[in-house]
Each structure stands twice: as structure tokens, then as C-alpha cells.
Structure 1
Amino acid sequence: MSITVKDVEHVAALARLELSDREKEQFTEQLNAILKYAGQLEQLNTNDVEPTSHAMPLVNVMREDEVRPSLPIEKVMLNAPDEEDGQIKVPAVLE
């Protein structure tokens, strides 16, 4: 599988990016190099390698949940940019 300039244009359109012709060519070359490298990785024999989710033995440190009183709504609304019917009103983020 290889990436074409048309593929790069499609992804750029989805991301709302405007790319020059040179950038399209550059990204096409870079993405194809990445795919070529991934193809090399597919050739590795991993039969004796134990599956892992992390290369390092990482563990999340969590604290116990505890119920605590929250701020009164009046204090919360003092910091709100705008308020309507007891709710914080923010500008729309979707068209």
C-alpha cells in the first residue's frame, strides 16, 4: 500500500488544512517512508516475544475517592463568564 497525493489532499481537507503543492509532495514522501518502515517491522519474527501493552512496567497511582462538599453555586457563578437559568453559558463551539 502506498499513499498518493490525492490521499494527502483528502486528509488535509478533513483536517481543514491548506497545503501547497510542495507540502503535498513532501507529506506524500514522508508518509510512504513511514509505511515502508512499518512494512519492515512486519517481517520481524515475534513468535517468542511475550505480548505487552507497555515496554516499561508502568502502574497508575490512584488515590481513594472521597466525597467532599463542592462550592456553592453562587460562588461558581461569580467566576462564570456568562450565566443563563443557573447554568454557565459559553460560546458555541460547533457550527
Structure 2
Amino acid sequence: MSEITREQVEHLAGLARIALTPAEIDRLTGELGQIVDSIAKVSEVAGADVPATSHPIPLVNVFRDDVVGETLTQEQALAGAPEHDGTRFKVSAILGEEQ
């Protein structure tokens, strides 16, 4: 088992500016030791002939062709607007701006 000490955990907590209680330090000392051991086991199994992977299944982006379709006319778009000036939507001022 890899030995992670209380002092190392306290040092890391100090670097991260995390206040830990003595009970938390004890718990994290054991947990971090187990994590280091688990990584060591995986490193033993992974040989030079095993490629590094971030996902078990290759990821591919699926894109569709960008096809222009029917769009609304200016009149259709403005038809449902609460307020408009004939060519643009009218909205209330925001963030204290004057109208």
C-alpha cells in the first residue's frame, strides 16, 4: 500500500486553502492512499501496446448538411410581436437605460 501521510494531506489542504478537521485529515489520508494504490494497479496492467483512451467508444461528431429552408417574411415575424415599428421589434429599455 502506498503510504500517504497526514502531513502530506495537511500540506495539500494548505496549498488548496481548505480548512480540514483532524477527522477529515484522517479520512482523507486513507482515501488518498487507496486512490494512489488503484492508479498503480491500473498502471501495471496498461502496457506499451495498450493505447491511451479517454472514452471506451470512439466519439464522432454527427453533422447534417446546412440546407436553407423556408423562412418567415418580415411581416410574418412581426405579426405576433406585442410591439414593432414596421421593420423591427420594439422592446422596453433594460438595465436602467432611458428610452
- When normalised by structure 2's length, the TM-score is 0.51
Q: 1:60 to 1:3 in 2, by over 3 A?
A: farther
SS in 2 for 1:43: helix
Structure number with the higher strand fraction is: 1
Matched, 1:9 2:10: yes
* Alignment correspondent of 2:40: 39
Shift of 1:14: 1.6
Task: Write the deviation string for residues 42-90 of structure 1: whole angstroms up to 9, x where unpaired.
Answer: 221535434434322113468x9xxxxxxxxxxxxx64xxxxxxxxxxx
Tell me the amino acid that sits aligned with residue 20 of structure 1.
T
Q: 1:52 to 1:41 in 2, by over 3 A?
A: closer
Tell me the amino acid that sits aligned with residue 28 of structure 2.
F
Report % sequence identity. Answer: 37
* Alignment correspondent of 1:28: 29
SS in 1 for 2:45: coil
Tell me the amino acid that sits aligned with residue 39 of structure 1.
A
> Structure 1: any 5+ residue segments left out of the alignment?
65-77, 80-95
- When normalised by structure 1's length, the TM-score is 0.53
Output aligned runs, 1:53-68, within 5 Å. Answer: 53-60=54-61
* Alignment correspondent of 1:71: none
Tell me the amino acid that sits aligned with residue 46 of structure 1.
G
Q: Provide the rounded CA distance (Å) in 2 between the counterparts of 1:12 and 1:41.
A: 26
Q: Provide the rounded CA distance (Å) in 2 between the counterparts of 1:45 and 1:8.
A: 28
Q: Provide the rounded CA distance (Å) in 2 between the counterparts of 1:7 and 1:16.
A: 14
C-alpha RMSD of the superposition: 3.1
